[in-house]
Structure 1
Amino acid sequence: MTRSLVFNLFLITTAAWLCAYCSSPKKELSQATLLRSPYLQCAFKDSLTILWRTDSGEVCHVEYRSADQEKWQQATGITRATNTAAIENEVVLHHLLPNKKYEYKIFTNKQEQLPDEKFWFRSPLTKKDTAFTFFAVGDIGEPVDEGGTPDVLAKALEPHKDSLAFGLLLGDIVYPDGSSQRYDQNLFQYFTKVFPYVPTYALLGNHDWQLPDDFTKEWKLPNNEHYYSFDYGKTHFIGLDSKIGDFYDYEEQVEWFKNDLQKRAKDTEWTIVFLHHNGKSCTYKQDYENVIALYPIFEEAKVDLVLNGHAHTYERLNPMNGQGEPISQYIGKTATYANPSGFISITVGSGGKLRGIGSDPKPFTPDPEHCRHPNLVAKANHLWAYLQLSIEGRKLKAKAISTEKGDVVDEFIIEK
């Protein structure tokens, strides 16, 4: 057999195989049903992550465009199994223009999910645009049938979603044990008008620490997902994992914390630390020594605010020094702080569960006048509330807002 004949036979065989392959029926993608509405994570620099869950799915993508664009852009993502028999869809958007409002659509197996909804988000700021507003709140996922109010919190946040850059969730996200099986029932079902529009950054509380692996499967967070930091405008945010008060990998985490503070950009104007447990407090919770041990670091690094949950109430402390002592010049002056020294610590564990409301036999109310720490408390109240913070250059405005009535129950300003 000649070489040319062999070659011709090869061509004929290859053509026949290709013809058979092309004519064979292609696998059809299954119809996917949405189980969890989209939620936004990791809004950093020019990128943002969108996640949602379906009952099945092999491929996913997002179509998106800014308000001044006609053509839709497309970004493909990945699908993966979860520990609740659902499929997680994840798409990361890159090269976003700064401080722009984008609309987006989500697709699983090439089918649009919730086509009647108009989803949108606002891309992160640059350092030139330093005015933004965010919220902080903890202890939100108490079941409604047990007296919890995640539904009330969600309704309170919804009218403000257009002005909120992101939110900080200060631990104890889902009661009683942070189980993945409870996330949709106790949390996500109530926030379908908030989480698809406002990115959130969560951290573990003591209840989440009963099933810590479930927590990391529900959220996409920086670093090791236990402790991390990020910049927004000229503000540096640091989230810590205080576990059940003893801290996750305490020595290693504290060393990371110190190094992170040293690596802050030179033009950083504000530093905000958030974690679950309180240090000193006049609430019904004990003082947590591992948090108090960080006070000298807070003072030396010029941390401005420390935000925590854990105590199911609201409590703002007077500015403290590194020894945890209220700075005398600020005692009784709770409205405006001009070039303050020290740091201000605030408990916002009033997002969905109040101590003394529901099953507890005796109601708890703050009593700062009879506190074990004299002159520690600037303002306290026992209402369902979240904290709204606005940074406008070198001015920070904070308001604690009642989730039931929408009125302001505490406010203060820091000016540098």
Structure 2
Amino acid sequence: MLKNTCFLLLGLALYTQGIKAQDNKPFIAPPYLQIGYQPAPGSMELLWHSADSSAAWDVELKTAGTTSWKKAARPEATRVAVANIGTHFVYRTLVAGLPAGNDFDYRVLKNKKVVFTATGKAPKEKDQSFRFVAFGDIGAGTPSAKALALRAYEAKPDLVVVPGDIVYERGLISEYRTNFWPVYNADAANTEGAPLMRSIPFVAAMGNHDGDTRDLNSYPDALAYYAFWDQPLNGLQAAEGSAVVPFIKATPENKKAFETAAGKAYPVMSNFSFNYGNIHWTFIDSDTYVDWTDSALLKWVANDLQSAKDATWKIVVFHHPGFSSSRDHFEQQQMRLLSPILEAGQVDVVLNGHVHNYQRSFPMHFAPEKKGTLLVGGKDNKTIRGRVVPGKWTLDHNFDGHTQTKPQGIIYLVTGAGGQELYNEDQQEDTDSWQKFTYKFISSIHSFTVADVNGGKLTFRQISEEGKELDTFTITK
């Protein structure tokens, strides 16, 4: 009798696992939420990846206070058929009519059968408090990256902000499948990751590991950023070979396959802006191939910030920090050239990655000396390595973020300790190695940023992968 019971339980377990495996088969990447090409408090985009193009897909919604499911817009498919990766499709649909800031249930049906269910959170409106988390250099697939994903999930944010280096090493489709989706859109919250993206949107800036690989003959599945993210298309319109967009190296076949997969996102989605809650967000491609002396690009940033007159807060996000005390990447100061424009646009905080640690500056003003010095190297002596930009800074030493909470100048945060190998651990205690603009430098542990937005009060906390608070400060208006 005991033996038969054991066989019965074993059979039941295998049957249950079989159902779970079968239910997961429809997706290469399970459904995830995005703010969309045209963000609005009452709508979002839902995306998923599947190898199946013949199925009839549907999405249904149920908002708070309702009992019936309502069908969303018909999903559209974008074909991804680049070399070295099996042909698959990125499905996307508009999820609209959402009560701002409230939870909603959704389910995905394949051939009228429910294959996925989750609860999402609609974007917040201007008068609603919210929480966002930020961490860069995340898609490394390391134990620390996975631990931080779980910590971020436990923080219960409404939005996740990634200041570049979304996935390592080359921004490939194959790397998303191993280092990104399983960690940030996992089926369960545990030491392997968390089900973040199916419930809340991530927004991401282009990092060097996302955009530097432009040789599609050697890496045909590179630049996956443009195929997998639905973010605003209101950036500067620019052509390949311009000051904004480098040329892609590809055969006609590889180029066409990439352009089909990227659709209308390439190349305009490199820079974009949107409003979430009472914050105006500006996301910028800061890579070394971008010429930040270009007047058209500088004008786009200035006009974007000037247009956000109704926002309580302005936050700018890009990958390469202009102000960092780290020895690594110290020469890549090209983004200092934007300081006068950011200050004129009344930016409050700048979020960066690239340097794999945490740094907070004093509130500061910076006046660059002309355009600095362009650094060129590489085997061909043509590869741009960065730009050294000297200048004069004015620091607000009175601001402490506790008793004095009205900063005079911009606060620059480097939050690049999101999972990749840490930089310059020895500098944490070596305060003599810090630049004068650096207030806090934590490089011995991986961490992420948690920010609570409540009207004219904005509170930041830096949390380690072990859950310890490493830094905190508040800004008020």
Give the alignment's TM-score, normalised by structure 2.
0.73
Change (3 A) 1:215 1:158: same
Change (3 A) 1:372 1:122: closer
Identify which of 60, 63, 83 aligns with 2:60: 63
Change (3 A) 1:80 1:249: farther
Mapped pair 1:322 → 2:366: yes
Give the Cα–Cα distance (whole angstroms) in 2 for the partners of residues 282 and 245 of structure 1: 23
Give the Cα–Cα distance (whole angstroms) in 1 for the partners of residues 320 and 363 of structure 2: 18
Give the Cα–Cα distance (whole angstroms) in 2 for the partners of residues 368 and 262 of structure 1: 40
Other structure's SS at 1:187 match:
helix
| C-alpha distance after superposition, 1:224-275 (max 9, x if no partner) | 21110111122101000012374589543322111111111x3311000000
Give the Cα–Cα distance (whole angstroms) in 2 for the partners of residues 126 and 99 of structure 1: 7
Aligned residue in 2 for 1:215: 225
Identify which of 252, 260, 277 aligns with 2:304: 260
Aligned residue in 2 for 1:27: none
Aligned residue in 1 for 2:121: 122
Change (3 A) 1:254 1:319: same
Deviation at 1:354? 2.9
The letter of the residue matching 1:214 is A
Identify which of 446, 454, 465 aligns with 1:384: 446
Change (3 A) 1:137 1:372: closer
Matches within 5 A, 1:36-75: 36-42=29-35, 44-58=40-54, 59-75=56-72
The answer to whether the Cα contact below 8 Å between 1:89 and 1:108 also exists between their aligned partners in 2 is no
Give the Cα–Cα distance (whole angstroms) in 1 for the partners of residues 110 and 339 of structure 2: 48
Change (3 A) 1:282 1:295: same
Point out the more displaced range, 277-286 or 249-258.
249-258
Mapped pair 1:195 → 2:197: yes
Give the Cα–Cα distance (whole angstroms) in 1 for the partners of residues 152 and 438 of structure 2: 27
Aligned residue in 2 for 1:139: 137
The answer to whether the Cα contact below 8 Å between 1:171 and 1:202 also exists between their aligned partners in 2 is yes
Aligned residue in 2 for 1:395: 457
Other structure's SS at 1:34 match:
coil
The letter of the residue matching 1:409 is L
Aligned residue in 2 for 1:16: none
Deviation at 1:409? 0.7
Deviation at 1:128? 2.7
Aligned residue in 2 for 1:18: none
The answer to whether the Cα contact below 8 Å between 2:75 and 2:93 also exists between their aligned partners in 1 is yes
Other structure's SS at 1:149 match:
helix
Aligned residue in 2 for 1:113: 115
The answer to whether the Cα contact below 8 Å between 1:149 and 1:352 also exists between their aligned partners in 2 is yes
Deviation at 1:372? 6.0
For the aligned residue pairs, the C-alpha RMSD in angstroms reads 2.2
Mapped pair 1:349 → 2:416: yes
Give the Cα–Cα distance (whole angstroms) in 1 for the partners of residues 125 and 109 of structure 2: 29
The answer to whether the Cα contact below 8 Å between 2:292 and 2:337 also exists between their aligned partners in 1 is no
The answer to whether the Cα contact below 8 Å between 1:280 and 1:292 also exists between their aligned partners in 2 is yes
Deviation at 1:56? 0.7
The letter of the residue matching 1:286 is F
Give the Cα–Cα distance (whole angstroms) in 1 for the partners of residues 27 and 170 of structure 2: 25
Aligned residue in 2 for 1:21: none
Aligned residue in 2 for 1:25: none
Matches within 5 A, 1:218-237: 218-223=228-233, 224-237=268-281
Give the Cα–Cα distance (whole angstroms) in 1 for the partners of residues 111 and 296 of structure 2: 43
Give the alignment's TM-score, normalised by structure 1.
0.83
The letter of the residue matching 2:364 is M
Q: Which runs of 5+ in 2 are unaligned?
A: 1-23, 187-194, 215-222, 234-267, 368-391
The letter of the residue matching 2:31 is P
Percent identical: 27
Matches within 5 A, 1:128-207: 128-129=127-128, 131-144=129-142, 149-161=144-156, 164-191=157-184, 192=186, 193-207=195-209
Q: Which runs of 5+ in 1 are unaligned?
A: 1-30, 357-361
The answer to whether the Cα contact below 8 Å between 1:57 and 1:109 also exists between their aligned partners in 2 is no
Aligned residue in 2 for 1:101: 103
Change (3 A) 1:46 1:306: same
| C-alpha distance after superposition, 1:327-374 (max 9, x if no partner) | 24337x354543222000000000011335xxxxx8544356223632
The letter of the residue matching 1:123 is A
Identify which of 259, 275, 279 aligns with 2:322: 279
| C-alpha distance after superposition, 1:94-141 (max 9, x if no partner) | 232222210111123433223xxx411111222232x11001110011
Point out the more displaced range, 63-72 or 281-290.
281-290
Deviation at 1:326? 4.3
Give the Cα–Cα distance (whole angstroms) in 1 for the partners of residues 145 and 431 of structure 2: 31
The letter of the residue matching 2:114 is E
The letter of the residue matching 1:327 is L
Bigger radius of gyration, 1 or 2? Answer: 1
Give the Cα–Cα distance (whole angstroms) in 1 for the partners of residues 430 and 438 of structure 2: 6
| C-alpha distance after superposition, 1:277-331 (max 9, x if no partner) | 0002111221434311111112222110000000001111111113362424337
Point out the more displaced range, 333-342 or 301-310.
333-342
Give the Cα–Cα distance (whole angstroms) in 2 for the partners of residues 186 and 244 of structure 1: 25
Give the aligned length. Answer: 368
The letter of the residue matching 1:399 is R
Give the Cα–Cα distance (whole angstroms) in 2 for the partners of residues 287 and 280 of structure 1: 10
Other structure's SS at 1:411 match:
strand
